[in-house]
Amino acid sequence: MEARRLALLYSHLCPSPSPPPPPPLSPSACSPQSNDCVFCLIIRGQSPAFKLYEDDTCLCILDTRPLIRGHSLIIPKSHFSSLDTTPPSVVAAMCSKVPFLGNAIMKATGSDSFNLLVNNGVAAGQVIFHTHIHIIPRKAGDCLWTSESLHRRPLKIDPETSGVANRVRELLLNVSEESKGQVSTLS
């Protein structure tokens, strides 16, 4: 896993073949403590990237190790190590750009669909610990995911499934009582 992470970090720092230098980026909110974060280096204009979009909150770049042509990343300009540490307002700002960016990426690549993906945590495959959202353009029959050939089973309606649903609702209720932010209408 460490070798994979280092290879990915290296690929972001030293993309091959060498693209022309990207336009300079505006100053960022990334803290000086994030000196080793490849995305913070890109945001500060200290590492090259193909910039597609930028605003006060986020940046969208082409992934330097794309799964498919046009694979892009939406990155917050402030450093947050994972989605669950990222403030909801920042997540909302990033997500609000998805239709706009996704449509442009689909048109530019001749795709008709896209996947939206977040690898949140080591077990989920996160290797760069700065929140980011993948936009992965897709075409029918591209066979990008091996899981697409897997047979999906219907959800079992049993005590174990009910237990998971009840536990999630209970945890959401506890969190919403603590934060007074988001309350579900489910009981």
Catalytic residues: 132
Nearest CA to 169 out of 159, 156, 184 is that of 184
Q: What is the CA radius of gyration of the chain?
A: 19
CA–CA dist 61, 38 (Å, integer): 12
How far is the first Cα of the chain from the last one, in angstroms, to the nearest whole number? Answer: 41
Find residue 136's DSSP bridge partners.
Answer: 115
- Non-local (6+) Cβ contacts of 135 within 8 A are 60, 71, 72, 73, 74, 98, 101, 102, 105, 114, 115, 116
